[in-house]
Structure 1
Amino acid sequence: MIAGLGLTGTAAAATTTPGTATGTAATASLPAVLTKNRIYRSGTAGPLSCPAPEIRPGSAASIKRFQQALARCANRFWATRFKAAGLRYSPPKLQITTGSRSVCGTITANGAQYCPQQRTVAIRIMKRDLRDQIMMNLAHSVAHEWGHHVQELTGILDAQNTLYWRSGKTQRAALSRRLEMQAECFAGVFYRSTLDSLSSEITWVQWIDGVKQSRESKVHGKPRNLAYWQDRGYDAASARACNTWTAPNARVS
């Protein structure tokens, strides 16, 4: 299963990491599903209206409604991109809870995970979410996990999983970072289309600066690289920018 990226500071986000992780430096031996995936040819995304209800201080119910609305928006967005790439899109299930259990096990303190076998995004509303309701933090639990769902539907997760189990410890860590940073890039593509329609209290530049200042994760990699891939997807407005598999090692460390 895939479970949890946690960003702290201005940008705090929860996401997913599986018992599978992502690749190493670009080599000719990498499968085409990683390096030449059809989702990279899904074109440039235009603006998408993404109305979401207001988040009320201390209200778990309002956070849940916000994330449910954002999930509907993510499904609309990715269905369009998949169609443009000649691919079939199906939405994941969504489980939002204040508890610690999901359909694929325990939800970590990071707060969100993607469960590939169940094709479910599981989000845990944490106490910190009730205290510090920065909209982008709550949005990222959806945006990043949907990035993993895109990887599942396009065969990227399966290909990465195969490489992972054939690799040593160091190579597994590198594969994990490439997987997570690609999900960050996919989130950036989604944000480019939808952010203007959301009432965010911080700008995109402030958000990216916050990501850069977040704590480092062995699974997800250096904050500056997480910020790089998110910003790369945002700037390109296209999944073509999100091929982390052939990127230099320094960009996925």
Structure 2
Amino acid sequence: MRWQGRRGSENIEDRRRMGAGRAGGLGLGGVVLVLLVGYFFGVDVTPLLNGTGLSGGGAIQSDVELTEADQRAAEFVSVTLADTEEIWSGIFRDELGATYEPVTLVLFKQVTQSPCGNASGATGPFYCPLDKKVYLDTDFFAALSQRMGAGGDFAAAYVVAHEVAHHVQDELGILGKTTALRQQSSEAESNAISVRVELQADCFSGLWARHAHEAFGTLEKGDIAEAMNAAEKIGDDTLMRNAGRRPMPDSFTHGTSEQRQRWFATGFESGSLQACDTFAAANL
């Protein structure tokens, strides 16, 4: 992915030096496992990680050291976010005759607070509609690559674009309507609505990728394959199998690997908002 040397976003809230409690008591391997389970199954496991110390120590940190990798990741996120701002502003203007209000992205390390609850490695990247911010610990990119086998710049860009897509849904009024509907539904029905929300965000991510390449020449050979690989690795069925569980479609909240890949491809190939209407699709 070509991203170096381009404009970064001003809508970054950097909390990485604010300090946070360290997770522990489980050993490093146990912590990683808990974090991944928490992220991929949508469970906030922060209470399991607080207050016990990581294998012999874990006081509250007041001064977080930022590595070269942290800085590079922050620059990458800033450029990717700037790209989403330009692309979605253009789509809103040209297709909807509306103004896009960019999302703020909060960078943090370890733990921070959001109106939607604790943000941590346990929750993974997420969009909070209560303050209209995306929360991202850039260490997640390492976990995505090393633990999930979904490496590459464009796999990381897909993650950012997916969370920004939830803000787009919020701006379009989709997120508010589906949240209200889910609150009135059974668990299985709520999960089914969630799948359509998430697959639309995947489609919007593909749409963004298409427009970003046309506008900035972003894509390099293999980039789309990186995004498709990431979508495959985080499908509900794949995650459940890898966790030693039998896939149960009624419990899916994000969609299968095949669905996530197909809807990303739909957005990329069509470049159209209308093509991403997962709520009108008879078959996902």
TM-score, reference length from structure 2 = 0.63
The correspondence of residues 156-171 of structure 1 with structure 2, limited to 5 A, is: 156-171=174-189
| Cα separation, 1, equivalents of 2:41 and 2:102 | 17
1:96 alignment counterpart:
107
Q: Which of 193, 216, 227 is matched with 2:261 structurally?
A: 227
Q: What is the Cα deviation at residue 246 of structure 1?
A: 1.4
The correspondence of residues 39-50 of structure 1 with structure 2, limited to 5 A, is: none
1:65 alignment counterpart:
75
1:117 alignment counterpart:
130
Aligned length: 200
- The SS at the match of 1:59 is helix
| Cα separation, 1, equivalents of 2:220 and 2:123 | 22
The correspondence of residues 141-220 of structure 1 with structure 2, limited to 5 A, is: 141-195=159-213, 197-198=217-218, 200=220, 202-205=222-225, 207-216=227-236, 218-220=252-254
Counterpart residue type for residue 231 of structure 2: V
| Cα separation, 2, equivalents of 1:109 and 1:206 | 24
Q: What is the Cα deviation at residue 198 of structure 1?
A: 2.8
Quote the sequence identity (%).
Answer: 24
Is the radius of gyration larger for structure 1 or structure 2? 2
The correspondence of residues 238-253 of structure 1 with structure 2, limited to 5 A, is: 238-249=272-283, 251=284
Distance verdict in 2 for CA 1:213–1:59, change over 3 Å: closer
Distance verdict in 2 for CA 1:103–1:188, change over 3 Å: same
> Larger relative CO (CA 8 A, sep 6+): 1 or 2?
1
8 Å CA contact retained: 1:15, 1:145: no
2:89 alignment counterpart:
79
Counterpart residue type for residue 193 of structure 1: H
Q: What is the Cα deviation at residue 202 of structure 1?
A: 2.2
| Cα separation, 1, equivalents of 2:226 and 2:159 | 18
Distance verdict in 2 for CA 1:214–1:103, change over 3 Å: closer
